[in-house]
Amino acid sequence: MGTVNEKLESYGLKKVLNYLDSNPEENVPKLIGWLKKFDRDGLYQSAYEMVDGFIKDPENNWNRLILSLYSDIDESVRRKTFENFLINSAILGSQKKNKLVEKYDCNIPWAILMDPTSACNLHCIGCWAAEYGNRLNLSFDTLDDIVRQGKELGTYMYIFSGGEPLVRKDDIIRLCEKHNDCEFLAFTNGTLIDEQFADEMLRVKNFVPAISIEGFEKETDFRRGEGTYQAVIRAMKLLKGKRLPFGASLCYTRQNAETIGSEEYFDHLIELGCKFAWLFTYMPVGVDAKPELMATADQRKFMYDQVRKFRGTKPLFTLDFWNDGEFVNGCIAGGRQYLHINANGDIEPCAFIHYADSNIHEKTLLEAYRSPLFMQYRRNQPFNRNQLRPCPLLDNPGRLSQIVKKSGAVSTDLAHPENVDQLTEKCVESAKAWAPVAKEIWENSEGRERADWKADREAQQKAQIEKKVQEKESRKKIKVSM
């Protein structure tokens, strides 16, 4: 955030936060109008239109959720989170990122997901991380350099996964300190969150955990081991008591979808103090995967219906990374909005796609973004016009195989390299079952027209960028020939 314009915009946005702090009940409904003035590129126009009407209603759940951040969250933590997330990442960082996307004709992510370690203190059923043990780690210097490179390209959001990232809690806190203009989040099992670490979170102010929980005690302990649920509850109570923000990471499977999607469970998360919930469906990745845990088509539709219903009634911000494709124009992986760097340094398009043609120890981030694998993602997204079928693995069998083979990417699973065709085969029946259900929902969806417009707009933008790149290359050739 170094240019004069960036500093002026940052100053203006911070003034907006000052107004909010002075009287949130009165000023929260004005928030969207203020933010629109700074969104010169119209990056979030559709989101603004959707949320604007909600937050003007004092009884609406979105309004209640935002106001709860003032009553429930430490003031200095809330302010730092707003500055990093809204100002640095969502607005100024995205403006910088989009200019560089046009310059380099490649995807540049809004967020980078990275694994500090493959080590984990749990052994969850169906989790590929258990195969690696504690052998793989990214050094602090490597993690630091990833963030440094990312910021130069407009990325100010960093997410830790693993393994269990809090095995490296000291290094995570060091990163939060050094890069206090970034927001850090971690997908964590929560069992290593103690009083000392919570106090460190309160001190650095820019770290937010998304705690994995599979349902109530029976469902959580089934996959994660006896006693895990009670450890998670203790961690959440500790964080709530210190007025720290946190959320839940929910993986719905054939065993727990009805629990995860129940009103009782959503109310339970809100009572525990969660402010957000990220929802994932189980993916059969790795040699020890359990395809029998994959949610059925009926269960996926159940989650689709429940999440949308609760968005109108529950003060909990939710994202379903498969069923919300209409809001983000399909698949967000491959650097389009995010990517994954594993503990070996392999730069993967997605946390669930364990193939790469680049490694952070050998290439810069920008070189990886322009690599054959990531360019194949860019050229092929979205993978389906029906954005309830966004994934090249789970929803569109054969698409991932084509990309991997065409790019020359290789399996990054060091213990048991997985043939991409064999991986794809595990998803074929699920995709076939989901396709007609998704078709029926999509054809009657209010978001279809909006999503189609977004897809057309993004395709036009890509074509314009490619045209400019070609014209630039042509001019270079002319100069050389002269």
- Residues 113, 245: one domain? yes
- 113-129 pLDDT, tens digit per residue, is 999 999 887 777 666 56
Return d(Cα 282, Cα 294) in angstroms, integer: 5
Neighbour-count burial for 32-59, b at 16+ CB within 10 Å, e otherwise = bebbeebbeeebbeeebeebbebbbeee
| Range name among 13-17, 143-147, 280-284 with the lowest pLDDT average | 13-17
402 domain residue, yes or no:
no
What pLDDT band is residue 287 in, cutting at 50, 70 and 90?
A: confident
Share of the chain above pLDDT 90, in %: 67
Asked, for residue 400, whether it belongs to a domain, the answer is no
Range of the domain at 50: 2-73
98 and 126 part of one domain: yes
Residues 43 and 161 occupy one common structural domain? no
The chain-wide mean pLDDT, for the chain, equals 87
**Same domain, residue pair 60 and 96:** no
Residue 241 is assigned to a structural domain of this protein: yes
Residue 479 lies in a domain: no
User: Is the model's pLDDT at 145 over the cut of 70?
Assistant: yes
45, 73, 101: which is the final residue of a domain? 73
Tell whether 143 and 242 lie within a shared domain. yes
Distances in whole angstroms, Cα of residue 118 to Cα of each of 114, 349, 356: 11, 18, 17
Tens of pLDDT, residue by residue over 346-388, are 999 999 999 999 999 999 999 999 999 999 999 999 999 999 9
Do 19 and 130 sit in the same domain of this protein? Answer: no
Q: Are 355 and 348 in contact (CB under 8 A)?
A: yes
Q: Which tokens belong to 194?
A: 């103690």
Q: Do 65 and 195 fall into the same domain?
A: no
With respect to residue 83, please indicate whether it lies within any of the assigned structural domains.
Answer: no
- pLDDT of residue 131 exceeding 60, the answer is no
CB atoms within 10 A of CB 433: 15
| Weakest mean pLDDT among 31-40, 240-249, 348-357, 369-378 | 31-40
Residue 404 belongs to some domain of the structure:
no
- Same domain? For 67 and 96 the reply is no
d(CA 261, CA 335): 29
Q: Which pLDDT does position 16 carry in this prediction?
A: 66
The predicted model gives 82-87 an average pLDDT of 90
Which residue bears the tokens 């991932």?
A: 400
**275 occurs within a structural domain:** yes
The answer to whether residue 28 scores a pLDDT higher than 80 is no
- Average confidence (pLDDT) over 176-183: 98
Residue 301, pLDDT above cutoff 60: yes
On whether both 138 and 271 belong to a single domain, the answer is: yes
Higher pLDDT pick, 460 / 424: 424
Regarding whether 63 and 146 lie in a shared domain, the answer is no
pLDDT at 162 over 60: yes
Position 49 confidence tier, pLDDT thresholds 50, 70, 90: low
Q: CATH number, domain at 150?
A: 3.20.20.70
Give pLDDT, residue 4: 47
Same domain, yes or no, for 193 and 305?
yes
Task: Average the pLDDT over each of 185-189, 236-240, 244-248, 415-419 and give the range with the smallest value.
Answer: 415-419
Domain boundary among 299, 318, 343: 343
pLDDT class for 448, splitting at 50, 70, 90? low
Residue 28 lies in a domain: yes
Query: What total of structural domains would you count in the chain?
Result: 2
- Name the pTM for this structure: 0.88
Q: What was the pLDDT predicted at 30?
A: 66
Which are the contacts of 431, defined by CB distance < 8 A and separation ≥ 6?
389, 394, 395, 396, 397
* Mean pLDDT value across residues 289-296: 94
pLDDT at 384: 95
Tokens of 148: 């440094």
Task: Say whether both 55 and 109 belong to one domain.
Answer: no
Among residues 73, 105, 128, the one where a domain terminates is 73
Query: Does residue 132 have a pLDDT over 90?
Result: no
